[in-house]
Structure 1
């Protein structure tokens, strides 16, 4: 690193990001540049280290607002956060290895090799779900509920029989079907909306650790479907207004 630090163009080239990205991070207060005497942005060791951390957390899919909130928290533990990130990366690597093995075995079977057991056929898909969830939500889940709860949830998924796995997927599909049926009514307390909320709770229990579900926890999570842009985007892809409607339906169901 030059003794006087990096210019915005030098750091953008080094980090593999655009100058516009660095300007955006500066405006957000994520990575603030220092100002040289001539008014140009300069980045010294502290800013380079902070950019490195931001990019690491962006790899997990964490929104910039959450990264800033986490890093500015006086209780922020960089080592613990990086350990969680490492766990998510390892889960992704394991998922890719499983998918490669799955394709290889399928090809071998088609070419006259040994048949795959049904459990083998679907193991990689379950690992794929775990890896995607770890990438999108793992850091937050582990920070809020701890590694033990996250690991127990992952173990429940991997331990599902194919019959149970199919049942869980069908439950999720039914939640969507009922929600889309109820949404035009505008009434989150209608029968279809309440059945969607009930089934949503059953769906959650398939993934949460034994005994972790409660109506209070269910309602609290549903609030996140509106507040968290990742959840909101998922449900809004079903239909405009779906996130708020599901939140309201779950709130009414959990208040009973």
Structure 2
């Protein structure tokens, strides 16, 4: 069996010798010793190092990687297949942003205006990619594949003006939530109505249609799902609940 020194492995993998020693300290790999008491590695060790590099690229923490490496029944192939699909999607998104940036730079060099349809392709696709990564499964389970695809299509087909309005509406929503959180009585009711109308306009742009039940349902999901809730409550604790209450009040639910 071929044996490799730590220098050999460092050259093969691109990892520093310090990194290899660190992996050994964490119990992820275990070198052997030759007659001169130097670290040596075999093909099995190289397989483990390759796996570590893949899993760290997938942003899996070292403690979990150690569990995976030490579980002979763990289905690495399925994990790789899942992440390969995500990597292809991410590459497609990066290609869109690179294309978007290249078109923008070319237009600026020529001192010519860009086509409105070209200005936001990469940015809109980036938002779609991030949302799919976080929420796609839950949205499809709640509203169905057809509704999800229709909403995605509507969002990607937004005009420049609609996309700018979409971003402005989200900031206006947070401003209204902030005002309502500090107000009382009739003034609070006014701001809650503003919250409802602003969010209604925002989701109508995002979905391409409006439905009261769906609006109420998605606000409930914002509150029930910690990932959605964090998006609102990171601005101020209680914003997700306030949004739901505002929609319920305006729809008399």
Normalised to the residue count of structure 1, the TM-score between the two structures is: 0.65
Distance 1:161 1:222 in 2: 26
Of the three residues 236, 248, 251, the one matched with 2:248 is 251
Q: Is 1:234 matched up with 2:231?
A: yes
Q: Name the residue aligned to 1:62.
A: none
Residue 68 of structure 1 is matched in structure 2 by none
- When structure 1 is superposed on structure 2, of 123-132 and 179-188 the one drifting more is 179-188
Native 8 Å contact 1:189 1:249 kept in 2: no
Structure 2 gaps of 5+ residues are: 1-26, 30-46
* Counterparts in 2 of 1:222 and 1:115: CA distance versus 1, 3 Å: closer
1:206 corresponding residue in structure 2: 205
Aligned partner of 2:71 in structure 1 is 43
Question: What's the CA shift string for 1:19-50, capped at 9, x where partnerless?
Answer: 53368xx8xxxx8xxxxxxxxx95232xx12x
Could you tell me the TM-score, scaled by structure 2's length?
0.66
Inter-partner Cα distance in structure 2 for 1:12 and 1:245: 49
Give the superposition deviation at 1:99. 0.8
Aligned residues: CA RMSD:
3.3
Q: Which residue of 2 aligns with 1:224?
A: 221
Residue 197 of structure 1 contacts residue 246 of structure 1 at CA under 8 Å; is this kept in 2?
yes
Residues 129-187 of structure 1: per-residue CA shift (max 9 Å, x gap): 21111111122223433332222112111222222222222222221111111111367
State the aligned residue count.
Answer: 202
Contact 1:149 1:209 in 2 (8 A): no
Please, which runs of 5 or more residues in structure 1 have no aligned partner? 1-7, 32-40, 60-84
1:157 is aligned, of 152, 155, 158, to 155
> Could you say which residue in structure 2 is the equivalent of 1:122?
120
Q: Deviations over 1:105-152 (max 9, x none)?
A: 222233337652232122222112211111111222234333322221
TM superposition shift of 1:241: 1.9
Q: Deviations over 1:225-248 (max 9, x none)?
A: 222111111101221221222222
| Distance 1:43-1:186 versus aligned 2 partners, 3 A rule | farther
Q: How does 1:45-194 map to 2 (within 5 A)?
A: 45=73, 48-49=74-75, 86=85, 90-112=88-110, 115-185=113-183, 190-194=189-193
Whole-Å separation in 1 of the counterparts to 2:104 and 2:70:
54
2:119–2:160 Cα contact (<8 Å) kept = no
Distance 1:12 1:230 in 2: 33
Aligned equivalents of 1:191 and 1:113: distance in 2?
A: 47
Higher normalized contact order (CA 8 Å, seq sep 6+, divided by chain length)? 1
